[in-house]
Structure 1
Amino acid sequence: MWNSLPGGLLVLPEYSTHLAHFPFFYLNLGVSPGQEFTAVIHAVTPLVSQSQPIMKLLQVVSKSKYCSQIIILWNSEKPAPHRTKWPPMPVPLIVTDGRRKTTSRFLPNAAIETDAVLSLDEDTVLLTSEVNFAFLVWRSFPDRIVGYPPRSHFWDPLKHAWGYTSKWTNDYSIVLTGAAFYHRYYHHLFTHYLPPSLRALVDRTSNCEDILMNFLVSSVTHLPPIKVAQRKQYKELPSPQGTKGLPWTNPEHFNQRQECVNTFASWFGYMPLVHSQFRLDPVLFKDQVSVLRKKYKDLERA
């Protein structure tokens, strides 16, 4: 059974004595969340070159003045490289064993001491200014997923089933966790509230963990995620071996995501995802004024 906090928000009973861990705590008492974040990068590609996307990502994220530390969740079949293989950074770097499970990225981690988690795929391409802006937005909405790559669901009356689309439109109901902020409390809910069968499905297919996290958060908040401005679109770069074998190039990968949406909706007993057209941009973003007046100049240059 769930317990209620003031305002009608729901929490698991085993965590009801630890209000400081709830993203809802801030909303009810008017207290701001922490001013730093922990980046968790999900790595599956063996490290063979210093020019791989993850190296650039490490530099970009570590330059954020809000970054407390970076955790690399090593989920490759090959052993993690020695610490000397990683670039020097101004923040602590921790490399942990992902146990080769897709859901390991959402396991509670004692090393995460910040309220905010920045979840990243190893091939995510962002600027430091994009990271900074998204984090400041999250601090205003600590109960939501805040990030960049949007997706959406829809009802297909011909198939009498839910559908999933990756088309870029103004309407969305999912923000992918390959580049998104959320509260660390959702690691506990993902691990201890969701049934083992759903987590096993994600691990078996190596797919849909981002969709499942969106289902979970929207079921708790009854609100959509929040998309923030970005330069063009979420970019996924091919591995050094090329695009062959990458999951998103396989049609079965998309079909699995369609099936996941229906499986998750069936377990929840309803469709918790909420549609939105809301996007937050920096002040003067794309306005025809001098770039010198803009705080996030890089977002418009690239």
Structure 2
Amino acid sequence: MVFQDPIRRKKVRTYANLSIIFIGALLIATSKKYVTAKSSEVTHSSVERNTATGRYAYATLLCDDVMLPATRAWLQSLKMTNTSFPIVVLVLPQLSLEGREELEKLGSIVLDVTPLEYPFTLTKSRLRDNKPCRYSKLHLWNLLNYDKVVYMDSDMLVMQNIDNLFVEFDELSACADLYPDTFNSGIMVIQPNETTFRNMKAVYKNVSSYNVGDQGFLNWFFGNEWSQRKDRHIPLKYNVLLKYRDTIMWGHVKDDIKVLHFTGETKPWNFYYSGHKDWEKNSEMRSYYAWVRMERISKEILGKALSWEMSDRVKHLCEQEYERNLTPRFRIQNKFSVVISTYNRQKLLERLITHYSRCRKVHKIYVVWHSPNIEAPYDFRVGSVPVVFLSQKYDSLNNRFNPIPGLKTQSVLICDDDVYVEPDDIDFTFEVWKSHPNSLVGAFPRFHRRTTSNEWEYLVAEPMKKFRTFRRYSIMLTKFIFMKSDFLFWYSCILPERFHKYIDEHMNCEDIAMQMMITGMTRTPPLAVVGKAIPEDYGTDKSTGGISTKSGHKEARNKCLTYFISELFHGKDPLIYNSVIQTRFVKIPFAKRSWNEGSLWMNSSGSKNSLKTSVHPRALNNN
């Protein structure tokens, strides 16, 4: 350890605008040169032998219950790799007793530590990011019962055994950050030492930090030595950020990821309501589902797993999809797949399939067969468009959004078996969607509003206002919508199971849940399209027995909105109003007027207004 004078060690981020590509190339080159050869010499047996002479442990810091689910998943992922070493969780007083008991039941050692004072001004964003409590991470150097500690942020997920870090690296070792001459403190190999701990506590309040957090301070304290000692540079595969996908670094780490690090505002446990502008940079389906799996296993161990009649549906479906696809790739952009939901309406279905097969841009037709006890007509054929029946084991409305094996198009048209839209209008709606891929684009908009402080109402249309001559909408019914194929997996496998449970138990509101997820995730409102012909909805006929024709349907949807917003979105309404519709361009009408007539010359009473203005002499010469 090298103690450095604050005046000599200044961390000025003058490099922040350097090309990430250049940095990535430099980091990859150094990691290969100094680490790869050494890594290949270390075996599991050498790690096991070392346990006889060294006292090693993994550790993380947990400030409060907010990050408890993340910590449980991290802890479970580490245990699933069959690590040989204990796992320590440093906790602050804000963590509940129940949270402490859960961590102990999952096999960790829970150690209480005293919060270290945050040395900067508290702001709303810093409180949200838990920056004030992170300086308590310095207590790691006071874990004197251990010779070496691998610290990891709790928003990480361990994908492979990493016990070799204890043997291969000494203090302070860490992965390079995206900025030059800076390490990321998400994973570090440290060596607890009383003197080091005392020195850090003595100076941290008086040291500037480039990120007003612990990482800036740790770079000030250890950065010079770390940057000069390339043998202290842990390879990037031990700290993989999803934002690396946009750089050349991704190609070097994607096939051998040791640890995933969910940095940024968007994370697996909040993606559906975080609504951050960089959500696409910091999210990826397979990585997020890996986290969901660990969280589910930890809940099962704790006896907290959700249970309902169809609870196995999600797990079975998503595990199959996860194992089947390394990464879903929807390569076809200029065509779309049709996904028809049906329940024992074969004659109507045959006509509808024939209808969709006539659309020029249909790639394949999928039929979600919602009748578990009736065999699907697999021999059905029409024209040149392939038709695939998807039989379901469970009778769940959530099935309409199941991931589809073999799906190749970037867009899917989700539709009911009782809605008819003209082929030209279908193609036009698809073209509109291509310009708005993160929106639900369709023909049946709906509206919602708050009625009391904790209740919401579902309406077919917004009541007209005296001060406004137009209506708004906030929900697009999934009886006819285009959406991104990715959202099928997001909804089915990553969205919290509490949504699925509620929908299964109430047989309603899967469309509202999908709209809320997409808007909460992307901050894009739905978009309504008006075609040349009026869409025909046969589901409004009570003889069809559709869900929307039953008594109490509107009241049930009011309850859905209230439950989803209050309980699952923490009281924050994710839906966004839109007043825009898309229609085909024919012409834009306008009125030709002479210079002294028209609205410009009318006063509020409708009579012509005599404008008396003073004009600057120079203005007369301007054209």
TM bucket by the smaller chain? 0.7 to 0.9
Q: Which amino acid aligns with 2:582?
A: L
- CA deviation profile, 1:161-184 (whole Å, cap 9, x unmatched): 111101377310011111000011
- What corresponds to 1:133 in structure 2? 428
For 1:82 and 1:22, locate their aligned partners in 2 and report how far apart those are by CA, in whole Å. Answer: 29
The answer to which structure has the higher helix fraction is 2
Q: 1:227 to 1:77 in 2, by over 3 A?
A: same
1:243 is paired with a residue of what secondary structure?
Answer: helix
Deviates more, 1:69-78 or 1:118-127: 69-78
Q: 1:16 to 1:282 in 2, by over 3 A?
A: farther
- What corresponds to 1:184 in structure 2? 485
- What corresponds to 2:339 in structure 1? 40
- What corresponds to 1:292 in structure 2? none
2:334 is paired with a residue of what secondary structure?
Answer: coil
Counterpart pick for 1:171 among 472, 477, 480: 472
Counterpart pick for 1:162 among 456, 463, 478: 456
Deviates more, 1:159-168 or 1:190-199: 159-168
| 1:75 partnered with 2:377 | no
| 1:107 partnered with 2:406 | no
For 1:172 and 1:285, locate their aligned partners in 2 and report how far apart those are by CA, in whole Å. Answer: 25
- CA deviation profile, 1:7-26 (whole Å, cap 9, x unmatched): 522454554699x9699xxx
User: Taking structure 1 as the reference length, what is the TM-score of the superposition?
Assistant: 0.80
**How much has 1:277 moved relative to structure 2?**
0.7
Deviates more, 1:179-188 or 1:72-81: 72-81
| 1:280 partnered with 2:280 | no
For 1:248 and 1:190, locate their aligned partners in 2 and report how far apart those are by CA, in whole Å. Answer: 22
**How much has 1:234 moved relative to structure 2?**
5.4
- What corresponds to 2:73 in structure 1? none
Q: Which amino acid aligns with 1:232?
A: I
For 1:79 and 1:3, locate their aligned partners in 2 and report how far apart those are by CA, in whole Å. Answer: 47
**How much has 1:286 moved relative to structure 2?**
10
- What corresponds to 1:65 in structure 2? 360
- What corresponds to 2:30 in structure 1? none
The answer to whether the 8 A contact 2:338-2:365 is kept is yes
Counterpart pick for 2:384 among 70, 87, 90: 90
Deviates more, 1:245-254 or 1:6-15: 6-15
1:129 is paired with a residue of what secondary structure?
Answer: helix
Counterpart pick for 2:413 among 96, 115, 118: 118
The answer to whether the 8 A contact 1:3-1:12 is kept is no
Q: 1:12 to 1:98 in 2, by over 3 A?
A: farther
Counterpart pick for 2:497 among 175, 196, 214: 196
Q: Which amino acid aligns with 2:517?
A: L
| 1:236 partnered with 2:538 | yes
Q: Which amino acid aligns with 1:122?
A: D
**How much has 1:233 moved relative to structure 2?**
5.0
Q: Which amino acid aligns with 2:399?
A: S
For 1:204 and 1:56, locate their aligned partners in 2 and report how far apart those are by CA, in whole Å. Answer: 32
RMSD across aligned C-alpha pairs, in angstroms?
3.1
For 2:388 and 2:370, locate their aligned partners in 1 and report how far apart those are by CA, in whole Å. Answer: 14
For 1:145 and 1:286, locate their aligned partners in 2 and report how far apart those are by CA, in whole Å. Answer: 27
Counterpart pick for 1:268 among 548, 562, 569: 569
For 1:193 and 1:111, locate their aligned partners in 2 and report how far apart those are by CA, in whole Å. Answer: 20
User: Taking structure 2 as the reference length, what is the TM-score of the superposition?
Assistant: 0.40
Give the aligned length: 272
- What corresponds to 1:151 in structure 2? 446
**How much has 1:160 moved relative to structure 2?**
4.2
For 2:329 and 2:515, locate their aligned partners in 1 and report how far apart those are by CA, in whole Å. Answer: 17
